Structure 1
Amino acid sequence: MRTQSTVDRRNLLKLAGGSLAALGLTAAGCGTGSGSGDGTVTIRYAWWGSDDRAKRINRTIALFEKKYPKIKVKTDFQPYADFWKKFNTQASGGNAPDVFQNAIGFLRKYDAKNVLLDLREQAEQGNLRLTGFRAGLETFGEVDGKLLGVPVGSNSMALVVDRTVFGKAGVNPKAGWTWDEYHAALATIRDTQGRAGDAGPYGIMYLYDLYLRQHGKAFFTTSGLGFTEADLTDWWTKAFQGVTSGIYADPKRTIQAKPKSAVTAELAACEFTWDNFTVRYASEGKSRYGLAPIPTTDGRKTGQYLGSLMLSGSRRTKHPEEVAQFIDFMVHDPEVGKIMGYDRGVPATTAQYEAYVPDDEVGKQIAAYEKQLVETRVLEPITPHPAGADVTEAAFLRLGEEMSLGTRPVAEAVKRFFTEAKTALSS
């Protein structure tokens, strides 16, 4: 559930280790944050994202420091992979940032490592409001009764389409369309527009999760995988057939086009991603882009849920109260909502959602898409993510790509995935 715009997911998920010396850090085990003689404290805030996100966040920090003059915020931002590389090193040394951007796939992992602050006590003390959230998002960061993260925005999987190509091909996806109809539409686009129908959905863990949920399963349980080797063999066999038939884009050309997407590079007419990523396509491509519904198995159940980026605190912070106040401000203040817009998803709280009303076509589409999901009651609880989910997702993406390129047969890719996932989820 992630809003990292222009960097491709393969590179994003190469979570490598690093040494403290290489990063110019020391293994400080005495907690984070600092204070001064006049009562002013400094907290460290880290996030991943683009330069544009950094500019927006810095504007919100200026507002926070104006309201809380005794709290100073030291910032650090990185691209996604670099963020987690640095964070892993800091967390291992007991020096994690006081507050940081987080995602569902990392909650159990870092909770098991005693890195995350349980924010429940701060909420009970009145330093963090858990009211005013949209669509039940206030529970999104709860794990085993602990509050390990607070949402800043929401998003859901969608199909981003090149509206011009779809229009010329006479394809008009509607809610409840089936996977058979989706594949038929891709073939029509291939045959009439000289372009692959889809970029290739076979390595997108979150999409496969929805497909499994439509069949009464899920990608993850609380402790492991929720599907079998036979399930994945079926998924990847059909995917490879899609590549060879041309309804999915040539993976070699897709890789060569990066950091552009296959859609904006005009190699495919659509691809599955998070709804708020649509902003990327509008700024990157030359066509008109929009959102289409997730295909279904039975015409009704989509398996969808609202995902979210969130803010978490360090268990070793010296300033839990100030961390809670900072998080509260960032998720509730209307001016913050206006500044951030849909950069991290549709604002999670009603106050920020109402404060920012998009006036651009893409923003309006994102808002309408999520409103439709809520009103039609298709949303379900999110699938649990056990510790090791991030490494498992990386393996799924990498092996799916190798399968699509033909460098690893389907049967071998499946076996390898289950081996790597077992190791990641049991470590």
Structure 2
Amino acid sequence: MRRSGRLRAAAVGLLGLGLLASGCGGGGGGSGDGTVTIRYSWWGAKDRAELIQKTVELFEKKYPNIKVKTDFAEYADFWSKFNTQAAGGNPPDVFQNSVAFLRKYGEKNILLDLNQQVKAGNLSMKDFRAGLEKAGEVDGKLYGVPVGANTFALFYDPTEFKKAGVTPKDGWTWDEFFSAAQKVSKDGDGLYGAGDNAGVMYLYDLYLRQEGKAFFTEDKKLGFTEGDLKTWWGDWYGKNKDGVLVPAKKAEQVKPKATISADLAAAEFTWDNFLVRFAAETKTELDLGPIPTLDGKKTGQYLSSLMLSGSARTQHPKEVAKFIDFMTHDPEVGKIMGYNRGVLPTNAQYKAFKPTGVNAKIAKYEESVTDKLEPITPHPAGADVAEAAFLRIYGQVAQGKTSVDDAVDQFFSEAKTALGS
């Protein structure tokens, strides 16, 4: 499921959550024989649930005094239920989370600061790849631990690009990318050069980082001007009208597929681990290529991740910490999960899983960009609402329903309200 679409759903009801007291009420139960039960919830499809259930069985075998009650749902349903539970003071003890929600939930005292459990020796933050041990830190508190990581990539059809005489390569520029897309759209027999990804917040964030800016600043505000956004949206919409990019109407018709997996486009930008999904949706061979640059060097890339977080209201923080530790470090868990939630977070799991096919392509790509990665800026509270607005409002531009100038004004108004700035 696309992150932007998922975040739109997650935004519903979040503002209704009240401040919760830490360390009381809620949580799983205990029994007279010393057995503790914790509740574990996540979002995802049935295939993820089947894999996770296997890892839970491994954990319970190693820790027979800890029982894990599991629950999962599709993204929107997960967050709807979670918000209700959190507002009622009874969220799951441990749950799947992402960087977009750490600060929001942390500021509402919903998340357990895991630093104390690290100090107590119940959770290790050692042996993580590429600085991922810092991914869940916000304002000095540890609110999440990565279970998988990904980074942005160019997805492309190597056959079509070869026909157009273009090979995506390190250091190529945005001008070269759009020139390649134009060649493909002219020679592709109805195939468009690329999907229109101007409304993808994470892609624009990379572009801004290449300019020395960022979508969000450390002081929880937008890190770009109205003029910056008018240029970005204006350039992409111009290429859309010129027939280089997939028209909005056609992109809508093939959802939930992406334009590249629906064989409408020869290129698209998204998270590298989506290759698993796209490869299952199309017979066209796809490959991963480098992000275009402004200066031939800086891509602005960073690792994002799915995480496990604990509830501040859990009665069993020690058991929650041991559970998170097992799920992020145990090699057998790595073999079972593979890249379902992204490339594995710790060296022990990464080495234990031997990727083949599309997973091998993802691993190769991540290794190729390791030396280009930069720290991620923690998202402010309201980032999910801003992301949803960014996608929705550009969608109105792409559909010809509003002008770029009016769309930019609308976005800044909605984003400032969401961010409280």
The TM-score, its normalising length taken from structure 2, stands at: 0.95
- Alignment partners' CA distance in 1, 2:47 and 2:10: 23
Secondary structure of residue in 2 paired with 1:422: helix
- 1:200 maps to 2:196: yes
Q: How many equivalent residue pairs?
A: 410
- Contact 1:116 1:315 survives alignment (8 Å): yes
Matching residue's letter, 1:205: M
Change (3 A) 1:201 1:181: same
Residue 284 (structure 2) aligned to one of 284, 287, 305: 287
- Contact 1:164 1:287 survives alignment (8 Å): no
Show structure 1 runs of 4+ deviating over 6 A.
none
By how many angstroms is 1:14 displaced? 2.5
Residue 391 (structure 1) aligned to one of 385, 389, 414: 385
- Alignment partners' CA distance in 2, 1:342 and 1:84: 23
Superposed counterparts of 1:91-170, under 5 Å: 91-170=86-165
Secondary structure of residue in 2 paired with 1:45: strand
- Contact 2:138 2:378 survives alignment (8 Å): no
- Alignment partners' CA distance in 2, 1:250 and 1:42: 51
Matching residue's letter, 1:134: R
Residue 213 (structure 2) aligned to one of 211, 214, 217: 217
Matching residue's letter, 2:301: Q
By how many angstroms is 1:171 displaced? 2.0
- 1:268 maps to 2:265: yes
Matching residue's letter, 2:187: T
Superposed counterparts of 1:15-94, under 5 Å: 15=10, 17=12, 30-94=25-89
Matching residue's letter, 1:88: N
Matching residue's letter, 2:399: L
Residue 305 (structure 1) aligned to one of 280, 302, 306: 302
Counterpart residue number, 2:321: 324
- Contact 2:136 2:146 survives alignment (8 Å): yes
- Alignment partners' CA distance in 1, 2:287 and 2:12: 38
Deviations 1:307-350 (A, max 9, x none): 11111000000000000000000000000000000111111100
By how many angstroms is 1:11 displaced? 5.7
Kindly, what percent of the aligned residue pairs are identical? 60
- Alignment partners' CA distance in 2, 1:156 and 1:424: 26
- Alignment partners' CA distance in 1, 2:245 and 2:377: 27
By how many angstroms is 1:242 displaced? 1.3
- Alignment partners' CA distance in 1, 2:146 and 2:359: 19
- Contact 1:17 1:89 survives alignment (8 Å): no
Matching residue's letter, 2:38: I
Counterpart residue number, 1:242: 239
- Alignment partners' CA distance in 1, 2:367 and 2:6: 32
Matching residue's letter, 2:257: K
Secondary structure of residue in 1 paired with 2:33: coil
By how many angstroms is 1:79 displaced? 1.4
Secondary structure of residue in 2 paired with 1:152: strand
Secondary structure of residue in 2 paired with 1:100: strand
By how many angstroms is 1:169 displaced? 2.4
List runs of 5+ in structure 2 lacking aligned partners.
15-23
Deviations 1:94-132 (A, max 9, x none): 111100111111000001110000000001000001111
By how many angstroms is 1:8 displaced? 7.5
- Alignment partners' CA distance in 2, 1:11 and 1:241: 28
By how many angstroms is 1:17 displaced? 4.3
Deviations 1:244-263 (A, max 9, x none): 01111011011110111111
- Alignment partners' CA distance in 2, 1:235 and 1:83: 34
Matching residue's letter, 2:146: P
Secondary structure of residue in 1 paired with 2:154: strand
Matching residue's letter, 2:265: A
Counterpart residue number, 1:26: none
Matching residue's letter, 1:61: V
- Alignment partners' CA distance in 1, 2:230 and 2:317: 47
